[in-house]
Amino acid sequence: MLDPGPRNRTLAEVLAALHEHFSTTTRLDRRADVFRVGHEAGMRFARICVLDKLTSEAGHTDASVPRRRRDRRREKASLQAIEGRLTDEIIWATKRDPEYDAGYISGVELALRYVALARTNLAMEEAAISCRPVSSPGWVG
């Protein structure tokens, strides 16, 4: 399971954590070698998607500012872009050996689950921030 880590992480840190997780996913030893090769290729594609987004975010100066001060819509859009690219890959991936294809799709689907988890964590943080009590300046009743 992806560890969301401390609150108020930057988008660049979230993307780096996804990339790190996709890089260190354990090998599937129970399956055939062809399945494993396909699975690793699917995870490699997921890493490329994250790296592309991380590279595009590097040009934005606010990518390294804590979340509470940054536009959350851009964070959601970044994760949606990665998710959309992974989903498109499942639909349009070139067909090869059936066992390889099963492994490849398994790798991409695993990456999709982690992106969904990152989106859920973002939504939970956003909900927690919106539920904070607002103090009124010097109200005396």
Q: For 9-64, what is each residue's pLDDT tens digit?
A: 666 777 777 777 777 655 555 556 888 889 889 999 998 988 888 888 766 655 55
Could you tell me where the DSSP H helices lie in the chain? Answer: 11-24, 33-57, 72-92, 98-130
> Are the CB atoms for 19 and 54 separated by under 8 Å?
yes
pLDDT at 102 over 90: yes
Query: pLDDT: is 127 or 6 the higher one?
Result: 127
Query: Residue 112: pLDDT band by 50, 70, 90 thresholds?
Result: very high
Quote the percentage of the chain above a pLDDT of 70.
66
Q: Is the pTM for the entire model greater than 0.85?
A: no
pLDDT at 4: 46
> Are the CB atoms for 61 and 123 separated by under 8 Å?
no
Q: Which tokens in the block code for residue 61?
A: 């100066």
Query: How far is residue 21's CA from residue 10's CA, in Å, rounded to a whole number?
Result: 17
Query: Residue 74: pLDDT band by 50, 70, 90 thresholds?
Result: confident
pLDDT at 76: 84
pLDDT at 19: 75
pLDDT at 8 over 70: no
Query: How far is residue 22's CA from residue 47's CA, in Å, rounded to a whole number?
Result: 6
Q: Which tokens in the block code for residue 114?
A: 């982690």
Quote the percentage of the chain above a pLDDT of 90.
23
Tell me the Cα Rg of the chain: 19
Cβ–Cβ contacts within 10 Å for residue 42, how many?
Answer: 27
As a whole number, the mean pLDDT across the chain is 76
The C-alpha angle 24, 27, 33, rounded to 5 degrees, equals 140
